[in-house]
Amino acid sequence: MIRSILSTLGNCIKIPELKSRILFTILLLAVCRLTAFIVIPGINGQALAKYFNDNAQNSGGLLVMYNTFAGGALGNCAVSSLGIMPYISATIIIQLLTAVLPRLSKLAREEGGRAQIIKYGRYLTVLLCIFQGAYFASSWLHPENAFRNFQGQLVITDNHFLYYFVTVTVMTAGTMLLMWLGEQITERGIGNGVSLIITIGILARLPNAVQGVKDMFIAKDGGEATHHLAGTGVVLIILLVFVIAGVIAITQAQRKIPVQYAQRAVGRKVYAGGTSYMPLKVNYAGVMPIIFAQSILMFPHTILLWLADSIFPKVAPVKDALTTLAIQLDYGTFLYLLVYSLMILFFSYFWVATQFNEIQIADDLKKNGGYIPGVRPGQMTSDYLHNAMSRITLAGALFLTVIATIPIILAKQMHVDQNVAQFFGGTSILIAVGVLLDTMRQVESHLMMRHYDGFLKKGRIRGRF
């Protein structure tokens, strides 16, 4: 197998166009990684980086997760601290609004409407960057409120107005630069640029995860601890293998709905009938339900504590109730896991309901002379597709719930380092596996067009979409 992969990589170099695309992609990804080390002026980035390295277990799961997506830029107080996530959030919001608002839906179908919607997404990205940049700037100005047990000062300038202006502007510019680089990779490189930027940021944290695993095997109380940690390491290795295998299987899994086309005449042309199939993906929503749930659950804990300390500091019963609820909704608690799981299930169906239009699919089949054997065209076909999609969505949603909760359980219940736990499930592993499969599929398509073998001599890599 290794020989086959090396042979495939050698074939990639033999194709000039594919070689130039791969080199262009690598160069731009290197520029993206460079932005994760350029510290914003007026901030002591080394202090926060040291804090993240020394307190990965207690610095807050959500912050560690965001730092993973940003490729460690947040921990360095770097130019690209916001990462590419604001652009992805804006794109998701615009997609949902397009499915809900008739005006945007009509605009998307018009000539040039798609370009206008992309422009709206960029404007929304800037707004999200400003709000998130202001939040992180405030956190760095008062690190004792944002990071547990932080000692020292991050901001080394006394002009706070200038600090806020420079920090928010630089972080917004950093995200827009990543967005532009991602678009250039998609157009002139190989793979989806934005997804590759996230993936390379996740993989950049791999050395930290390796260091975390190494630290786990340092015995602190004799042979008993060594035996315990060795057993934990074996469990983690087995878990990692099963998680990656499960993610690949579910990402590729699909239900094939048979479709029969009758012979039809269009003008003077006669189109012969035939049999095909309609693929319905088991994990149709992809990683979106996890992103939605994480984005929403980032705020209740902070908002409840702020209400308890700032709005109701003198009303003891209300303050105690809000504080207790905030503690119950803290990252890793039972209530947090319960709400998190229910939100993933809900958003899985919500995403399918907004993106999968069974009525339009049934109408298109009817117009093109296609039908599902044993099912009448029209409303019955729409109901059949709706029921089929609902059943397989449940399987995909349950899978997402298990994968999303694994890192939290490892970190909070088994006391595994956060940097290590992030590579055993959740958004990180889903994005990395999905993007790598998609990139391999595109490389394989270039090779097959020029009569070269792909990564697999038997079978082919199915696309994500």
What pLDDT, in 10s, does the model give residues 119-172?
Answer: 888 999 999 999 888 888 888 887 766 666 667 778 888 888 888 999 999 999
What's the confidence (pLDDT) of residue 228?
Answer: 47
**DSSP string spanning 355-373?**
H--HHHHHHHHHHTTEE-T
The more confident residue out of 232 and 163 is 163
What is the band of 290 on the pLDDT scale with cuts at 50, 70, 90? confident
In degrees and rounded to multiples of 5, residue 382 shows phi and psi of -60, -45
Report how far residue 393's alpha carbon sits from residue 282's, in angstroms, rounded to the nearest whole number.
6
Crossing angle of helices 160-188 and 16-34, in 10° steps, is: 170
Place of tokens 């980035």: 45
Report how far residue 241's alpha carbon sits from residue 223's, in angstroms, rounded to the nearest whole number.
27
Find the Cα–Cα–Cα–Cα dihedral 159, 161, 165, 167, rounded to 10°.
Answer: 50
Q: Which of 13-27, 90-104, 406-420 shows the lowest per-residue confidence on average (mean pLDDT)? A: 406-420
Helices (H), 55-101: 61-69, 85-100
* Average pLDDT score, the chain: 79
Q: Are 178 and 31 a contacting pair, CB within 8 Å?
A: no
What token pair was written down for 247? 């993610």
The count of other CB atoms within 10 Å of the CB of residue 197 is: 28
Ordered strands of the 254-261 beta sheet: 274-281, 254-261, 370-371
The count of other CB atoms within 10 Å of the CB of residue 18 is: 20
**pLDDT tens track for 249-259:** 888 888 888 88
- Does residue 47 carry a pLDDT above 90? no
DSSP code of residue 78: B
Nearest to 442 by CA among 103, 14, 22: 22
Per DSSP bridges, beta strands 274-281 and 269-271 are unpaired
Q: Which of 143-157, 365-379, 428-442 shows the lowest per-residue confidence on average (mean pLDDT)? A: 143-157
Report how far residue 115's alpha carbon sits from residue 298's, in angstroms, rounded to the nearest whole number.
32
How far from the centroid of its chain's Cα atoms is residue 168's Cα?
A: 24
- State in Å, rounded, how far the first CA of the chain is from the last one: 26
User: What is the arithmetic mean of pLDDT over 103-116?
Assistant: 81
> By three-state DSSP, how is residue 458 classified?
coil
Domains of the chain: 17-204 (1.10.3370.10)
- Does residue 180 carry a pLDDT above 90? yes
- Does residue 261 carry a pLDDT above 90? no
Q: Which of 76-90, 119-133, 287-301, 354-368 shows the lowest per-residue confidence on average (mean pLDDT)? A: 287-301
The more confident residue out of 114 and 147 is 114
pTM greater than the 0.85 cutoff: no
Q: Are 73 and 86 a contacting pair, CB within 8 Å?
A: no
The more confident residue out of 252 and 50 is 252
**Contact partners, residue 72, CB within 8 Å, separation at least 6:** 36, 49, 201, 204, 205, 208
Report how far residue 165's alpha carbon sits from residue 133's, in angstroms, rounded to the nearest whole number.
10
Could you give the percent of the chain with pLDDT greater than 70? 83
Q: Which of 70-84, 297-311, 441-455 shows the lowest per-residue confidence on average (mean pLDDT)? A: 441-455
Report how far residue 74's alpha carbon sits from residue 205's, in angstroms, rounded to the nearest whole number.
12
Q: Are 360 and 343 a contacting pair, CB within 8 Å?
A: no
What is the band of 221 on the pLDDT scale with cuts at 50, 70, 90? very low
What's the confidence (pLDDT) of residue 178?
Answer: 92
- Does residue 455 carry a pLDDT above 60? no
What's the confidence (pLDDT) of residue 222?
Answer: 47
